């Protein structure tokens, strides 16, 4: 007889999320890789954007597989691709460093997206009565990966640094990381499964009728609705500030007066703030509503973008943490609000398509900053502040639609 407790499969999903969550760790690797491989700083700057776009594509493709074949297979495929991409990156040389856009960005990003979407969907289905909390748990574990692996990666790079040249030998660094992610990721996958009908029928919230999913929309049905596009454009714009900040955290921190160690700490600390935003705001959204939560997070992001124009020293770390918190919250709330509107049955596919906005955001705003604003920090964060205003209007539109529907 199958176990009916959510503890084991939820733990399995959280382990996977921690393994595939180094999506935001690029600022730790960027400068050493530029130095060791004599790579173009401009090319290195775009790595996090390309990987994020592949991650979003992985959410979309993995969402289709997840809805058809379930989270276990999807997560296994994700872990294998992700680990392979990280390991293959370790085999690159100065002559082949351009292939990082395939190994680290495409393979790693796709694999991360496969596993991420499968785990969110799985945890939501185990905790349908606390959908916001469920999403928060899954995505906060993903963000917490940075807290663990930023210092681990820094330690590995220290071990394999040539004392005479100061250059890092990245082959053992990425091979070790790829192996660790594979072993622990597969262990997590073995624990993943969906709840049975007996378990769901015993939930008090289900018995009392408090869990209401409404109509289960297919993707063609969902994209014909206004809320779908409000959520889409909210994701596109609310993430602008964070995607602009990710490649800058360490280097800009040092320009603003931080030591290298303090700048590295700033990268790690964003993982804590990101995870807190995902967990706290997702749980809060179960109480105050999803749209209100997104509006609050947009205001937090707006404040962070404005402060990034001029803040330096130790307060810089706090401002980056504010931006990370403002980014983390929507990452979990968006998964819940998408399921709220369009139902859990096709949540993998619907959320995967909505998440395309995150990929567009990662490329569009960094490209504007690099090509048109020439990397000017002040102009970049003025643009970031403006992007944080748009989601507020998107949520107000949804609120008006909900009020009209109730009336």
pLDDT in tens, 185-238: 999 999 999 888 777 777 765 544 444 446 789 889 999 999 999 999 999 999
Q: What is the mean pLDDT of residues 318-336?
A: 89
pLDDT digits (tens, 9 = 90+) for 142-187: 878 888 888 899 899 999 999 888 899 999 999 999 999 999 999 9
Q: What is the pLDDT of residue 237?
A: 95
1 in any annotated domain: no
pLDDT score, position 363: 80
For residue 329, the enclosing domain spans: 7-195+210-406
Q: What is the 3-state secondary structure (H, E, C) of the chain?
A: CCCCCCHHHHHHHHHHHHHCCHHHCHHHHHHHHHHHHCCCHHHHHCHHHHHHHHHHHHHHHHHHHHHHHCHHHHHHHHHHHHHHHHHHHCCCCCCCHHHHHHHHHHHHHHHHHHHHHHHHHHHHHHCHHHHHHHHHHHHHHHHHHHHHHHHHHHHHHHHCECCCCCCECHHHHHHHHHHHHHHHHHHHHHCCCCCCHHHHHHCHHHHCCCCCCCCCCCHHHHCCCHHHHHHHHHHHHHCHHHHHHHHHHHHHHHHCCCCHHHHHHHHHHHHHHHHHHHHHHHHHHHHHCHHHHHHHHHHHHHHHHHHCCCCCCHHHHHHHHHHHHHHHHHHHHHHHHHHHHHCCCCHHHHHHHHCHHHHHHHHHHHHHHHHHCCCCHHHHHHHHHHHCCHHHHHHHHHHHHHHHHHC
The verdict on residue 312 lying in a domain is: yes
The pLDDT-based confidence of 282 (bands split at 50, 70, 90) is confident
Residue 205 lies in a domain: no
- Residue 362 in domain: yes
Whether 2 maps to a domain, the answer reads: no
Q: How many domains does the chain have?
A: 1
Averaged confidence pLDDT in the chain: 87
Residue 390 forms part of a structural domain: yes
Q: Supply the CATH number for residue 376's domain.
A: 1.20.1250.20
Is pLDDT above 90 for 112?
yes
Q: Please indicate, yes or no, if residue 221 is contained in any of the structural domains.
A: yes
Look up the pTM and report it: 0.77
């Amino acid at each position: 007889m199958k176990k009916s407790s959510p503890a084991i499969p939820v733990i399995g999903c959280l382990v996977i999320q921690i393994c595939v969550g180094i999506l935001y760790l690029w600022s730790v690797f960027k400068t050493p890789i530029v130095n060791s491989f004599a790579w173009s700083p401009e090319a290195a700057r775009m790595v996090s954007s390309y990987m994020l776009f592949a991650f979003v594509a992985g959410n979309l493709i993995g969402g289709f597989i997840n809805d058809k074949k379930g989270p276990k297979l999807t997560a296994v495929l994700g872990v294998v691709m992700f680990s392979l991409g990280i390991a293959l990156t370790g085999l690159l040389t100065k002559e082949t460093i351009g292939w990082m856009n395939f190994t680290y960005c495409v393979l790693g990003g796709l694999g991360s997206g496969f596993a991420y979407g499968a785990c969110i969907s799985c945890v939501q289905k185990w905790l349908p009565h606390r959908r916001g909390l469920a999403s928060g748990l899954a995505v906060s574990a993903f963000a917490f990966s940075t807290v663990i692996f930023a210092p681990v990666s820094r330690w590995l790079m220290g071990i394999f640094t040539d004392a005479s040249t100061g250059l890092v030998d990245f082959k053992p660094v990425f091979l070790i990381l790829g192996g660790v992610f594979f072993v622990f990721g597969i262990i997590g996958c073995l624990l993943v499964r969906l709840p049975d009908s007996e378990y769901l029928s015993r939930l008090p919230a289900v018995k009392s009728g408090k869990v209401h999913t409404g109509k289960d929309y297919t993707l063609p049905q969902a994209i014909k609705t206004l809320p779908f596009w409000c959520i889409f454009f909210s994701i596109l714009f609310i993430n602008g500030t964070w995607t602009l900040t990710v490649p800058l955290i360490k280097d800009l921190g040092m320009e603003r007066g931080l030591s290298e160690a303090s700048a590295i700490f700033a990268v790690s600390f964003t993982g804590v703030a990101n995870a807190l935003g995902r967990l706290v705001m997702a749980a809060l959204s179960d109480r105050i509503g999803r749209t209100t939560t997104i509006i609050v997070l947009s205001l937090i992001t707006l404040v962070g973008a404005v402060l990034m124009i001029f803040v330096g020293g130790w307060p810089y770390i706090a401002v980056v943490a504010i931006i990370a918190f403002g980014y983390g919250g929507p990452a979990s709330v968006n998964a819940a609000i998408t399921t709220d509107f369009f139902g859990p049955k096709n949540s993998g596919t619907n959320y995967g398509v909505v998440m395309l906005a995150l990929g567009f955001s990662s490329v569009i705003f960094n490209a504007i900053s690099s090509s048109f604003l020439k990397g000017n920090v002040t102009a970049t964060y003025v643009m970031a502040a403006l992007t944080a205003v748009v989601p507020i209007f998107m949520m107000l539109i949804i609120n008006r639609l909900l009020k009209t529907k109730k009336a």
